[in-house]
Amino acid sequence: MNMAAKSAPFLSTSRLLALAPMEDITDSPFRRICRRLGADIVYSEFVSSEGLIRDAKKSLKKLLFTPSERPIGIQIYGHDVESMRLAALMAESYDPDFIDINAGCPVKKLVNKGACAALLKDLPLLARMTHEVVKSVRLPVTVKMRIGWDSRSIVAVDAARMLEDAGVSALAIHGRTRDQAYRGTANWDMIAASAAAVSVPVIGNGDIRLPEDALQRFQRYPEIAGIMIGRGAIGVPWLFDRIHNLMRGEEVASPPFAHRVALLKEHILYSVEERGERLGVMTMRKHFSGYLKGEPMVAQLRSRLMQFYEVEPLFAELDDYLQSRSLP
């Protein structure tokens, strides 16, 4: 099954920073903001292979992106090899920069169908699925996975070797098992061991919330080619720039509050453009905490913002608060 990995120069970026694929988070508006603020690569929300081959409207919409989001990978998931192969071909027709296979999501309704992290219980199936996708598309193929199903089945090193043989161009490894979900601590030692076992780039994922977290991982684990940030970036898109600045020995302070409010407004307008006003505003609520964190009486402000379904009163509330913060 040994296949040579396809060339992917963007995956060879020194100390690469990636925005993790997250359902209902990494939509086009958020990807645009993160790319501008230092994310070297981004991923789509995960897309159902079965949804794609059945032309499901929701799945097809997830394939759309803007030129400013490049380099971008479309992540697909499923349990059936042929469905994944066909889905990869459909995703490729939208001309992303790479295709990613989800072997890490811990969501129960997906793993119960044999998809995502459940593939870690059947490495030959995962390898065969990856091989068929690699063979069928012209684009580079990557896999995002966890270190294993549970503490008794840590398979990251074996999986990495099998996937390299299957032809992947890079791997992203979340340092938790499926059983952990997002609890406990990510095992970066296992991520590094997996990276040392293969020649393709390995991107580590887990517990990166501050610039210092990323710098520490790069210093301690020279085997890793990059770092992927998921929940730590929600509402904090400038985290990527802060990490780059820290690695250059530059200022790492968070943007001034007025700048964060301006970014939040821009993000809201992108979301409204994408979804319409009511849904676009509601979708942004999960980002409010990050954008506004650390300000006085911010819990009360966030509570008021949650009441709005239209842009004008929401912006007026933000402006009033900003004005009150600037008074002596």
* Catalytic residue (one of 105, 110, 160, 166): 105
Q: Give me the architecture of the 257-326 domain, per CATH.
A: Orthogonal Bundle (1.10)
**Residues 6 or more apart from 258 whose CB is under 8 A from it?**
322, 326
The list of the chain residues with pLDDT below 70 reads: 1, 327-328
Distance of CA 30 to the CA centre of its chain: 11
DSSP output for 215-237: HHHHHH-TT--EEEESGGGTT-T
Class of the domain covering 11-247: alpha beta
* Cβ 226 vs Cβ 39: under 8 Å: no
CB 177 within 8 A of CB 145: no
pLDDT in tens, 47-106: 999 999 998 888 999 999 999 999 999 999 999 999 999 999 999 999 999 999 999 999
pLDDT in tens, 225-242: 999 999 999 999 999 999
Residue 105 bears catalytic tag: yes
The reported pLDDT for the residue numbered 328 is: 44
Domain ranges of the chain: 11-247, 257-326
Residue type, 13: T
Q: Tell me 20's DSSP state.
A: P
Contact 115, 66 (CB under 8 A): no
Long-range contacts of 283-290 (CB under 8 A, 24+ apart): 283/24, 283/27, 286/24, 286/25, 286/234, 286/235, 287/30, 287/234, 287/235, 288/235, 288/264, 289/235, 290/234, 290/235, 290/236
